[in-house]
Amino acid sequence: MTRDSSTSTGNGPDPETLTPDPDAGALRAAQGRRVRQRRMLALTTLAATLVLGAVGWWAHHEVEQSMRATRGDALRSVLDSEAQSLRTWIDDQKLGLRRLARDPDLRAQALDATRATGVTDAVDCNAPGLRDFMAEMEQGLADSGALVFNLVNRSGRIMLSNRADYCGLAYQAGEVEQNIAPVFGGETIFVTPGAEADRLVPPARLLRPLQPLLWFRAPIRNDAGEVIAALGIGHLAQDRFSAILAAARAGETDEVYAFGRDGVMLSQSRFETVLQERATLPHATSAAGRLVLRSPLAEADSRTRLVEAALAAPAGENGASGMLLDPYPGYLATPVVGGWRRLAAEDLFIAIEMSAAEAYAPLEALDTVFAIVFGVLILAVVIALFYWFTAVLIRAEVEKDRMGPYWLGERIGEGGVGNVYHARHDLLKRPSAVKLLKPSRATDEMTARFRREARLASQLTHPNMIDIYDYGIGVDGTLFYAMELLEGDTVGDLVLRGGAMPVARVVHLLRQVCAGLAEAHGKGLVHRDISVTNIMACLYGGEYDFAKILDFGLVKSVTGEQSQTVTRSVRILGTVQYMAPERLHDPSDVDLRADVYALGAVAFFLLSGRRMFETEDTLALTSRVINEEPPRLSAVASQPIPDELDALVAACLAKKRGNRPADILAVKDVLDRLAETHRWSQADARAAWEAWHGDVNEPGEESSSSLPTA
């Protein structure tokens, strides 16, 4: 539950102290000109900075994109050229191998070897007459740069080889099916580089079991045209690929290399020495076949970004390629850019990479220039912001004590929704009280309530209602309204400091409250927050104990629709001690008799000096107000209570509104009759006023009690 207990109390500093200096107008005008000049300079600087910054960013972006595109075209051109060179070499090797397969001596040796193995696959690599043939083949291999040759029968058995450690070995079933069976079908094929240890059974005797070899295989036919053997020529991949791909190296860091589907490098790395120094490779060991292209900055199983992109391409897509022009960590962990291309027929990839620093070296000079330009722009922004905030501070200094046409003084009241300040109109010099809506409470609902409070309260002209002068919005967006400045105290404060009031004084004050409420009720307005904090006993127009009704924050029209949009909330607003039970059941269920109940609760407190229900727990209090009959005033008051007044208070506090007085005028009629026998003269009021204010103005004394605001 929330409520606003802001009051327009007096007893503050002399309002004359709020009068501006005679020269303040000229000073404010000069300060206003300074504010406008600084704002204009700040806005002009900011606008120019934004335009220049946008143009600079666009120019830098276009140059960078153009340079990236140029670099991408250059890398792609190298890849295309190297792919063509590699395919040309492969085609030449196939052509030469087909010629060799037609050599009469080789065909004769193949025929003899086939006959010798027969159906038993028994191999005799030391057969008579092979020595001269092998010497001749060794010379041919040396001329072509090949490492090994062999003749393989249909079952995958090696019948002849220039390497004794190959003779008699057999290829695994998968290798036979993929790379030997097609040869017996008449094809000349290129075999993707791989480790011999993964192809042969057993692999232990091989000279280089782990280094990848690439093979060319062609069919050898007999005189009848039947394929009798598969001729294979093997090359070390690192030697042949490196010889072809290294020709594309132009700069200090660019490198073209080949790799397979397992992400293993097949050619020789340009940075063998660096890899050996980092212990990535054993000393004097080539990267080919041993270097898995991982990113040293990523997890152990993570390939470099280029390899991942290449392997993610569809397997059957020939000529697929990609460019990675945003720097990424290469296999040496340095930032690089690069591209890749798939050779689908050969089942391998070629890649080109170069350091990002070398690739985008021209951008460094451009970045330096733009850094200087943007540095100047940032300095300009700082200067502009300095002038802007200076202007804001000057404006804030000028306007901090001003709200519309009112100059604010000290705060004289505070509530849950608003604060109230001493104020003086700039031109009329009239002392006033200005109520401001707290920024923290400026929700849509509270803003609507505040506006409604000012609008509806301004319609009331009865002397016992506080007079609303003005309404507006401050330069900072704060809502405010101005009202008359009252000199006096709330009746709640009077009871808390002085105890229960005499019957005559209470009757005198409540008659005036009834008169003020009568005007409001006549216009269909219910106050909904009548309480001891919203009724003041004032010195007004020379008259003591002049009652004023304050705080129209919860006022509601019961005859129109203007307030319905802000009264549908299920929250209970107000002070529970003074709320009619039906409001606690349903906050929107209210009529004029809710003010009658609240007036009865006020009378109970003023006459007894105590609450109707003593509890600090809000839920318990709500339950008691709804369900429990309050005690009779005459039973708890320390002073005699007239029977008619006791009955009036009990009737006002009836749980069912139908049992309360019909309207506020019926209450006033009873109070008018009581006033005839319980008179409160101006002499009585003045004596009470002087006794009270002599007490509160005594130095060092403060109230030790406070009115509950649950």
In a domain, 48, yes or no: no
Same domain for 334 and 193, yes or no, is no
Q: What is the C-alpha to C-alpha distance for residues 101 and 86, in angstroms, rounded to an integer?
A: 23
Lowest mean pLDDT among 62-71, 120-129, 324-333, 668-677: 120-129
Same domain for 511 and 656, yes or no, is yes
| CATH label of the domain that carries residue 634 | 1.10.510.10
Work out the end-to-end distance of the chain between its first and last CA atoms, rounded to an integer number of angstroms.
7
Task: Give the model's pLDDT for residue 642.
Answer: 95
Range of the domain at 285: 249-359
Structure tokens at 673: 């009759």
Residue 179 confidence (pLDDT) above 90: yes
Structure tokens at 637: 């008051």
For residue 539, the surrounding DSSP H or E stretch is strand 535-540
How many distinct structural domains can be found in the chain?
Answer: 3
Same domain for 310 and 200, yes or no, is no
Task: Give the model's pLDDT for residue 86.
Answer: 92
Residues 140-152 pLDDT 10s: 787 778 888 899 9
| CATH label of the domain that carries residue 138 | 3.30.450.20
Residue 70 confidence (pLDDT) above 60: yes
Same domain for 195 and 258, yes or no, is no
Q: What is the C-alpha to C-alpha distance for residues 450 and 465, in angstroms, rounded to an integer?
A: 17
Q: List beta partners, residue 294.
A: 303
Q: Is 273 in contact with 267 (CB distance < 8 Å)?
A: no
Same domain for 282 and 200, yes or no, is no
Which residue out of 239, 254, 489, 529 is catalytically annotated? 529
Write 35-42 long-range contacts (CB < 8 A, 24+): 35/391, 35/394, 35/395, 35/398, 38/387, 38/388, 38/390, 38/391, 38/394, 39/387, 39/388, 39/391, 41/384, 41/387, 42/384, 42/385, 42/387, 42/388, 42/391
Last residue of a domain, one of 359, 377, 402: 359
List the strands of the sheet with 488-490, edge to edge. Answer: 488-490, 535-540, 543-549
Last residue of a domain, one of 312, 341, 359: 359
DSSP one-letter code for 126: T
In a domain, 416, yes or no: no
Q: Which residue has the higher pLDDT, 10 or 462?
A: 462
Lowest mean pLDDT among 117-126, 174-183, 433-442, 676-685: 117-126
Q: Half-sphere exposure of 173 toward its Cβ, with a 13 Å CA cutoff?
A: 0
- Specify the residue for token string 């409160």: 680
In this prediction, residues 520-545 reach a mean pLDDT of: 92
3-state secondary structure of 591: coil
Distance from CA of residue 667 to its chain's centroid?
60
Same domain for 226 and 266, yes or no, is no
In a domain, 191, yes or no: yes
Q: pLDDT tier at 566 (50, 70, 90 boundaries)? A: very low
Q: pLDDT tier at 177 (50, 70, 90 boundaries)? A: very high
Residue 359 confidence (pLDDT) above 80: yes
Same domain for 181 and 302, yes or no, is no
Residues 377-392 pLDDT 10s: 778 777 777 777 776 6
Q: Is 507 in contact with 569 (CB distance < 8 Å)?
A: no
Is 347 annotated in the active site? no
Same domain for 310 and 218, yes or no, is no
**What percentage of the chain reaches a pLDDT higher than 70?**
81
Same domain for 169 and 283, yes or no, is no
Q: pLDDT tier at 293 (50, 70, 90 boundaries)? A: low
Task: Give the model's pLDDT for residue 282.
Answer: 56
| CATH label of the domain that carries residue 275 | 3.30.450
In a domain, 97, yes or no: no
Task: Give the model's pLDDT for residue 130.
Answer: 64
Task: Give the model's pLDDT for residue 351.
Answer: 94
Lowest mean pLDDT among 95-104, 209-218, 521-530, 598-607: 209-218
For residue 338, the surrounding DSSP H or E stretch is strand 335-343
Same domain for 307 and 254, yes or no, is yes
Q: pLDDT tier at 562 (50, 70, 90 boundaries)? A: very low
Same domain for 196 and 313, yes or no, is no
Task: Give the model's pLDDT for residue 24.
Answer: 42
Residue 42, exposed/middle/buried by CB under 10 A (0-12, 13-18, 19+)? buried
In this prediction, residues 421-434 reach a mean pLDDT of: 89
Same domain for 597 and 678, yes or no, is yes
Nearest partner of 255 among 79, 81, 87, judged by Cα: 79
Residue 416 confidence (pLDDT) above 80: no
In a domain, 134, yes or no: yes
In sequence order, the 6+-apart residues with CB closer than 8 A to the CB of 363 are 63, 64, 67
DSSP 310-332: HHTS-TT-TT-EEEEEEEEE-TT
In a domain, 4, yes or no: no
Q: Which residue has the higher pLDDT, 159 or 133?
A: 159
Whether pTM exceeds 0.85:
no
In a domain, 381, yes or no: no
Last residue of a domain, one of 335, 359, 383: 359
Q: Is 639 in contact with 500 (CB distance < 8 Å)?
A: yes
Question: CA-based angle 183:264:230, to the nearest 5?
Answer: 15
Residue 673 confidence (pLDDT) above 90: yes
Task: Give the model's pLDDT for residue 431.
Answer: 92
Residue 29 confidence (pLDDT) above 80: no
Q: What is the C-alpha to C-alpha distance for residues 361 and 380, in angstroms, rounded to an integer?
A: 29
Lowest mean pLDDT among 180-184, 312-316, 365-369, 557-561: 557-561
In this prediction, residues 292-321 reach a mean pLDDT of: 72
In a domain, 285, yes or no: yes
